[in-house]
Each structure stands twice: as C-alpha cells, then as structure tokens.
Amino acid sequence: MKNRMQDLDFEQTVAFDRVEDFEFTRKAVQRFRQVVSLEGFEDEDADVIFHYLYKEMELVSFGDHLKRYIYERAGLEEPFADVTQDIYRDIVIESFHETCTPKSMKPTSTKLTSLVNNWLTQASVKRETVFLLGFGLRMSADDVSDFLTRVLREQDFDFHNPEEVIYWYCYFKQYGYHKAEELKNRYSGLEPDENYTEASKVFSGGLCLDSEEKLFQYLAYVKAGTDDPMSEKSQAFQEFCRLLNRAKEIIASMYQGDEEEKERGKVWKVSDISDSDVEKVICSGIPVNKMGNLKKMSASILAKHFSQKRFSRQRINSIMNHKFPVERFDLITLEFFIVSQEMQDDDPYSRYRHFLEEIQAILHKCGMSEIYIVNPYECFLLMCLLTDCPLAVFADIWEMSYEEM
C-alpha cells in the first residue's frame, strides 16, 4: 500500500483557490496518508484508525472555518495563529453594521457582540445562521454554498424552498438582507402557477434565475407545490432508494449463504429484508439496549466525530416516509456498504478508487459537495476502504467507541 500513497491525491479534486480550504484540507490529506502508511496499518487497522480518530484527528469547527474565511476576506497579513478572536469579532460587527444586517432573523435580546463570539467558537450552527452571515459578510452564493455543504455538511441551497431560492438570488446579485425581506413579502402575495415552462431545467441543473421576472416565475411554480422537496421527485431520495434496494439485495444474498438458511430451504428476496435487517448488518458494531434499540449516540466517544448520526432503522423509516430529508451521510454510508461487499475480494486501493468515483458522481447528481476529507466520518470510511475487510473494521471501530466509556 505504501508505494501508492502518492496516488491518494485529494488535491486533484479540491480547488485550492481559498486559504481556508487549502489549510484544513492539506493538513487532513497529509495525516490521512501518514496513518494509512503506518507499519501497523495492515495488521492492526482498526486500532490504528480508532487511535487516529479519537486521539489525533483535528476536529475543525464551524468557528475555525469562519475565522479562516474572515482572515482571507479581510486580507489580514499577520500569521493566522496570531490573530485574536476580538479582531475577528470586530470585523464581523463592522460588516454587519455596514450592510445593515440584523443580528438575528428572529427576535432576540442577545447582543450582537455575544452572538458573534458564539459563532466564532461554535462546533456547528443552524442553517439560518449561515444565511444571516451570508448577508452580514457580503458572501457570494458560492461562499454560502460552501458553508452549507462542506462546513455544516448539509444539502446545498434547496431550490424547492422559496426562502432559500430568494436568499440565493440575493447573494447572486449581491443584494442585502432587507432586499431579501422585500422579495419574501412579495412572494407571500404571489399567485401559484403549475405551468412553469422551464420545469424540466430544475432537475437538469440548467435553471437560470438572473432577473426578478425569472425569479418570480419560478417561485410561482414552487408555490404551486408541484415539487415537494421530500417527494419521490427529489434526486437525493431517488438515489437513496436505489442504493437502499441494492444494499437489501446484498443482505438477502448474505442471508441466503448462511448454512442454517440453506438447510431450511428458504429463498431470501429483497422484499424479505426489513429496515431492521439493514440496521443489524450495517450497525453490527453498535451495542443495543434491552429494548433492542441501538444504544444512545451520546454513549459513543466518537459522537462528535460522526455528527450524532447512525444508520438506524428509525432513520431509514423516517426518510422513506418523508419525515427526514436524505443527507449526504445516508448516501455515503450506503455506497460504502455496497462497495465494501461487492469488492470485498478486490485490491484495497482499487476498492477505494471505485468508491470515490461512484460517490462523487452521486453527490454531484444530488447537488451535494464532493467527499471532504476534513469531515471525520468521511475520512473514517475512506480509511476503512483501504483495509482488507472494510465492513468488519467499520464495525470494530464503532464497537470500540462504546467500550472506551
């Protein structure tokens, strides 16, 4: 494996035109290469990966990303490590005043100074905080998109949500917060229109909203409710269903290969595989309580690393019933499971490359950003793929994360 580490080149897929991307990503890539090149990686892979995640991996917070963004935008010349928080705070406050951006989108008695200090130190923030900062810091639409997808690890602008469409338009045109409020008020009195002539472009990525006239033609279509963001029309939902079905096919094949099942003469089909079966196979390393449910995420010492998410039967059920939106976590986890099983006898490097090619295409199709190695969970899956038994290592590390408490 060592002689191929130079080929694990994330720099080829990451644009380093911004300081914050370059610094965080470069560090993560360097450490990734060092860990998978260690002498004991092949023989003690689970222990090596767990130690790195728990003891060594740098958790890059929302506040870290925000500081790096401000550092570059403000053109600060002193070394990044020497810039104190009060400098960042003052820059943000001044920018909010200059752009006439309110301190919150909802009524609050908290002072702007306190809010800014929180933003600069938080591990994560709500989606609406990113939108507010977009106005307060005069971000471009691309900047806000990066914060949504790479920093919060959520979906990009939701073009089925009228507020987010309006926000995107304002960032695109470099309009301020009050213009967005004006457009939102105008939307409230808008007549719905199902017969939008450009509807086909919504899913093909060819939608062009470069004028208020085009914006409101599209918003009238959104208001008609023709495209429910949680419906089967959602590209992410379609991909999720496709991957989930393939995962169930693999699990059915696993069960079919079991000696006891062969003796019973049962033929396992996809329809026989429940959400509980999917949870049991993918989350096999996570202990369960007396009720048969996965133990609480808070009991894992890697809870922060993995953003409080597990691929539980409850999560699957909520997505299928349109109670939860499909997130990148869901797509990445399913694709990891599929590749780990379909290519379990392949060379680890080939498996790793195939996964990257497949998942990057899926994420792009769903309007989500590419695999981001700074994200601990995504880094974890990539390391597992470079082991001889990815799913077993995946399970071992989850199990270790509960035993250490």
> Which residues have C-beta within 8 Å of that of residue 67, sequence separation ≥ 6?
83, 85, 88, 120
Query: How far, in Å, CA of 24 to CA of 360, rounded?
Result: 20
Q: Residue 286's domain spans which residues?
A: 235-403
Domain membership of residue 389 (yes or no) is: yes
Rounded to the nearest 10 degrees, how much is the dihedral formed by the CA atoms of 357, 358, 359, 362? 120
DSSP single-letter state for residue 56: I
Query: How far, in Å, CA of 205 to CA of 147, rounded?
Result: 20
Domain membership of residue 324 (yes or no) is: yes
CA distances from 277 to 137, 239, 246, 294, 391 (A): 47, 20, 13, 13, 15
Query: How far, in Å, CA of 370 to CA of 328, rounded?
Result: 10
Report whether 33 contacts 5 (CB < 8 A). Answer: yes
Query: How far, in Å, CA of 165 to CA of 92, rounded?
Result: 25
pTM above 0.85, yes or no: no
CA distances from 47 to 5, 283, 295, 335, 337 (A): 20, 18, 22, 24, 20
Query: How far, in Å, CA of 319 to CA of 76, rounded?
Result: 44
> Which residues have C-beta within 8 Å of that of residue 382, sequence separation ≥ 6?
32, 352, 355, 356, 371, 373
**Tens-level pLDDT at each residue, the chain (405 residues):** 444 334 444 444 434 344 444 467 778 888 888 888 887 788 788 999 999 888 888 788 899 999 999 998 998 888 888 999 999 999 999 999 999 999 999 999 999 999 999 999 998 899 999 999 999 999 999 999 989 888 887 778 888 889 999 999 999 999 999 999 999 999 999 998 877 777 555 555 567 888 999 999 999 988 887 545 455 557 889 999 999 999 999 999 998 887 665 666 678 889 999 999 999 999 999 999 888 889 998 899 888 888 778 899 999 999 999 888 888 899 999 999 999 999 999 999 999 999 999 999 998 888 788 888 888 899 999 999 999 999 999 999 999 999 854
The number of domains in the chain is 1
Domain membership of residue 214 (yes or no) is: no
Query: How far, in Å, CA of 226 to CA of 233, rounded?
Result: 10
Query: How far, in Å, CA of 366 to CA of 320, rounded?
Result: 17
Give strand ranges (E) for 15-118.
Answer: none
Query: How far, in Å, CA of 80 to CA of 88, rounded?
Result: 11
Domain membership of residue 46 (yes or no) is: no
Domain membership of residue 335 (yes or no) is: yes
DSSP 268-297: --GGG--HHHHHHHHTTTS-B-TTSSBPPG
Domain membership of residue 375 (yes or no) is: yes
CA distances from 93 to 72, 88, 111, 178 (A): 17, 9, 11, 17
Domain membership of residue 113 (yes or no) is: no
Domain membership of residue 177 (yes or no) is: no
